[in-house]
Amino acid sequence: MSTNSFDAKDTLKVGENSYEFYRLDKVEGSSDLPFSLKVLLECLLRTEDGANITADHVRALGGWKADAEPDTEIQFTPARVIMQDFTGVPCVVDLATMREAVADLGGDAKKINPLAPAEMVIDHSVIIDVFGRADAFERNVEIEYGRNKERYQFLRWGQTAFDDFKVVPPGTGIVHQVNIEHLARSIMTRGGVAYPDSCVGTDSHTTMVNGLGVLGWGVGGIEAEAAMLGQPVSMLIPRVVGFRLTGAIPAGATATDVVLTITQMLREHGVVGKFVEFYGDGVASVPLANRATIGNMSPEFGSTCAIFPIDDVTLEYLRLTGRDEDHVALVESYAKTQGLWHDPSNEPRFSEYLELDLSTVVPSIAGPKRPQDRIVVSDAKTQFALDVKNYGVEGGLREEQVTPAEGPAYGLKDGSVVIASITSCTNTSNPSVMMAAALLAKNAVDKGLTVPPWVKTSMAPGSQVVTGYYENAGLWPYLEKLGFYLVGYGCTTCIGNSGPLNEEISQAVQEHDLTVVSVLSGNRNFEGRINPDVKMNYLASPPLVIAYALAGTMNFDFEVDPLGQDTAGNDVFLKDIWPAPDDVERTIASSMDRALFVKDYADVFAGDERWQSLQTPEGDTFAWDADSTYVRKPPYFDGMPAEPEPVSDIKGARVLAKLGDSVTTDHISPAGSIKADSPAGKYLSEHGIERKDFNSYGSRRGNHEVMVRGTFANIRLRNQLLDGVEGGFTRNFLAGGEQTTIFDASAAYQEAGVPLVVLGGKEYGSGSSRDWAAKGTRLLGVKAVITESFERIHRSNLIGMGVLPLQFPQGQNIESLGLDGTEIFDISGVEALNEGRTPKTVHVTATKGDGAVVEFDAVVRIDTPGEAEYFRNDGILQYVLRSLVKAGA
């Protein structure tokens, strides 16, 4: 209960219903706060307890100075937690382990439950093994269940054992699309109190829900577990960037082009750690699906959120997607009463300002390895010729002959598009681009165009609603004639679940080191992410994915190169088959309605007969299977004392990896397929698993033994301790500096009692909010990571796992300090944390083999008192567990 020191508690009547709520206008300065900060302010009013959340915190937020640098810590309690299965499974594994740990410390295991609603959507496990045929969806789901039976049984146990935990079974949709279409409330009600919906999610693209006026962002699985257990998110009141939208999208451009333009603009402006909020007269003309597409890409431009306020467009979408009228009325009444309704005439105060005239947007793609590297489509062929040189292709593009088992031989070239995938929450949630893709397919088929045989085509919508409106519009046959059969309702290609290329293609690529290409309608295209055979990856709108599939190569100019010939032998260009915007909108209006959403979400948690027939363990604590290679009890709480041991300085540490700029969590965290000769592959073989059943790292996230062996094992990782070597390798300085795997070196160092550090450059840990990037780092024995800068989520995840994040002094880096990674590191001053204070810097001494010493003061990136408490407890889960035991759990 709130101490209500601002006398803000009031009653809101909506129709026949009454709700308690906390009035924002009771706080001085609240009227012209940005929408996003008003949501935070309401949370503080409602959760004010006089200790962790005080009246001073409330006043600080009401009196927020837009131009000030963030320095005031607040505690934000999200309304709910949302998870996908890759990152969500470890959350449930840890909760199950905490139940046992609580019992070991004398508490009640049943007290470990989510204290905020927690929902998981199983969407990351489907792999495109089968494609280009009518039974692809059924076969892929069947294979998915075969691979993941143990995980799914475990999750079904969690659904029954934990209160307030719901699971959306496989084959339903993508978490962020299911979130906006069904799970999001916009305004929550709980215990008779109404308050703004907000959430944290175990996936960085949780920000998609920002399009619905819901404040939320991605956190590591570690932070999500704490939020589920009632721990607030410790944060500094952020700077807020106001982004004014004007004009309208021109014909020929799509919402994808808009979001790639905004991504480039915000990356160049610099918004890491900031909120982005859209406002202005142009907001009303932005459809909800476009808002969600923009919000989805927030991690790509680096902001914490990218939010749109509530308005009539929000209400229309809630109605369309099947929310009942009483709830829609509550959303409208609450938003207008609280000043959360978008009023273009009342401009909030913002820290910084940007503006985009939507009419200036042109067709774009992004690549070949970062989402912010936008390329105007008309320049794509020229840019490709430049970029391909970075992959060792000089002079003309090479061509190799491929002889498939079926069909005629063909030439495969550098630049050939071998994957064309319509996938991911970013765009499959948006009917305008999905329908444009289907109509483009129809026009292409009518002209007699076909897709070359080397292109692996796939369609993986974010929800079953897409299938519904495609069927209503009669457009599936045209997509299928071009090979875009339904392969699953999941993230697939966007997260590396593209599945293998046909064997003869893979063999040609590997034997001749061809630089081939993927084109996908996703949000991530980092190196090594999409497919191990594919070096260059491009993000594009769904209709452009089909266009590049027809072209068959990235070495293509749509303005001058024909896609093929029609039945009369005339050249067909992209402009000849691109659908008119009016046709797209007319088709959407005639084929998509509320009934589709009501039908598909009527019993969304029940699952199909496969899900319902899974044999599920019973009991308050999980019966761990000692032979399981999917779900194992992690060691985080083994031997944990009731009180934390003192923090100590780091002495005699060796460098496990010396890394460059923009090392992403994809480089660090285990992802994609498991190679037979890797440490993880060897572990599985030793446990009787055949290679065909290895599955992906993501699917085995509940087994720490597999995951630690895959940490820093990305095939594109460049550890600068080695020359010209890519992958998860390092030097073992205990064995004369010989080359070995990072896991084997770590094991040797840990056996010898030698602590480890990682050195890095700028933007360390950018990308997805992968908890295993931090968990694996911890389990490898790394005590500190020293970089030029961190991305937000990974820095906090490292602290959550008891790893110290440090930054080189301003203006200095590995090179300027003359570090080569062979040094022995001592880090002093860490012990100041035992005195209840966080030092601004610690002293680092790096001693070279010849006795020469490099010294510098590293900046301690423990940014809040809450983070300091987590670090003192050796991790966030240990802190929560001790707190629960003290509170009488």
Mean predicted confidence (pLDDT) in 87-91: 84
**What pLDDT digit, counting tens, does each position of 759-789 carry?**
999 999 987 667 889 999 999 999 999 999 9
Average pLDDT over residues 110-132: 91
**What's the rounded mean pLDDT across residues 277-289?**
93
Q: Give the mean model confidence (pLDDT) for residues 434-455.
A: 98
- pLDDT for res 205: 93
Closest C-alpha among 516, 556, 518 to residue 539: 518
Nearest to 78 by CA among 278, 236, 271, 223: 223
pLDDT of amino acid 495: 86
Q: In percent, how much of the chain has pLDDT > 90?
A: 78
Considering only 401-405, 679-683, 749-753, 819-823, which range has the smallest mean pLDDT?
401-405
- Give the pLDDT of residue 884: 83
Strands 517-520 and 417-422: parallel
> Which residue in this structure is represented by tokens 């990072």?
742
Q: DSSP character for 463?
A: B
* Of 411 and 219, more confident: 411
Q: Quick one: CATH architecture of 650-669+711-886?
A: Alpha-Beta Barrel (3.20)
Torsion sign over Cα 80, 85, 88, 89? positive
CB of 698 closer than 8 Å to CB of 689 = no
Query: What pLDDT is recorded for position 113?
Result: 86
Q: Looking at residue 769, what is its pLDDT?
A: 60
Check if the beta carbon of residue 788 is closer than 8 Å to that of residue 269: no
Count of C-beta atoms within a 10 Å radius of residue 39? 26
80-360: CATH topology is: Aconitase; domain 3 (3.30.499)
Annotate 632-666 with b (16+ C-beta within 10 A) or e (fewer). bbbebbeebeeebeebeebeebbbbbbbbebbbbb
Q: Are 358 and 364 in contact (CB under 8 A)?
A: no
- Indicate the pLDDT class of residue 844, thresholds 50, 70 and 90: very high
In the 3-class helix/strand/coil scheme, how is 659-721 assigned residue by residue?
Answer: CCCCCEHHHHCCCCECCCCCHHHHHHHHCCCCHHHCCECHHHCCCHHHHHHHCCCCCCCCCCC
Tokens, residue 825: 């590191």
Per DSSP, the three-state class of 317 is: helix
End-to-end CA gap in the chain:
19
Question: Of all residues in the chain, what percent carry a pLDDT higher than 70?
Answer: 100
Q: Distance (Å, rounded) from C-alpha 83 to C-alpha 228? A: 11
Give the pLDDT band (50/70/90) at residue 106.
confident
Cβ-contact 30, 62 below 8 angstroms: yes
How far apart, in Å, are the Cα atoms of 39 and each of 10, 22, 79, 249? 17, 11, 11, 30
34-57 confidence digits (pLDDT tens): 999 999 999 999 999 987 799 999
Residue-averaged pLDDT of the chain = 94
Domain limits of the chain?
A: 9-64, 80-360, 364-579, 650-669+711-886
What local confidence, expressed as pLDDT, does residue 888 receive?
A: 75
Determine the angle formed by the axes of helices 312-320 and 288-296, rounding to 10 degrees.
100
Distances (CA, A) of 321 to 120, 179, 595: 19, 11, 8
pLDDT tens digits, 638-656: 988 889 999 999 999 999 9
Is the fold of 80-360 the same as that of 364-579? yes
Q: Does residue 62 surpass a pLDDT of 80?
A: yes
- Write the pLDDT tens digit of every residue in 369-398: 999 999 999 999 999 999 999 998 988 899
Residue in 254, 291, 258, 256 with CA at minimum distance from that of residue 276: 291
Task: Assign domain 364-579 to its CATH architecture.
Answer: 2-Layer Sandwich (3.30)
- Rounded to whole angstroms, the Cα distance separating 16 from 21 reads 16
Residues in the chain: 889
Give the H or E element holding residue 774: helix 771-779
Q: Does 816 or 86 have the greater pLDDT score?
A: 816
Taking 80 as the threshold, does the pLDDT of residue 792 lie above it?
no
Cα–Cα distance between 361 and 270 in angstroms, integer?
A: 21
Per-residue pLDDT, 770:
76
pLDDT for 581 beyond 90: yes
- 498 neighbors 421 (Cβ within 8 angstroms): yes
More confident residue, 587 or 864: 587
User: Could you tell me the two tokens for 877?
Assistant: 């889960």
Nearest residue to 208 (alpha-carbon basis) of 264, 127, 289: 289
Calculate mean pLDDT across residues 809-813. Answer: 96
Whether the predicted pLDDT of 316 surpasses 90: yes
User: What distance in Å separates the CA atoms of residue 545 and residue 423, rounded to the nearest whole number?
Assistant: 10
Q: How confident is the model at residue 889 (pLDDT cuts 50, 70, 90)?
A: low
Q: Which of 486, 429, 520, 470 is nearest to 179 (CA)?
A: 429
Q: What is the rounded CA–CA span in Å between residue 362 and residue 379?
A: 11
**Whole-angstrom Cα distance, residue 364 to residue 569?**
30
Q: How confident is the model at residue 59 (pLDDT cuts 50, 70, 90)?
A: very high
180-213 pLDDT tens trace: 999 999 999 999 999 999 999 988 899 999 999 9
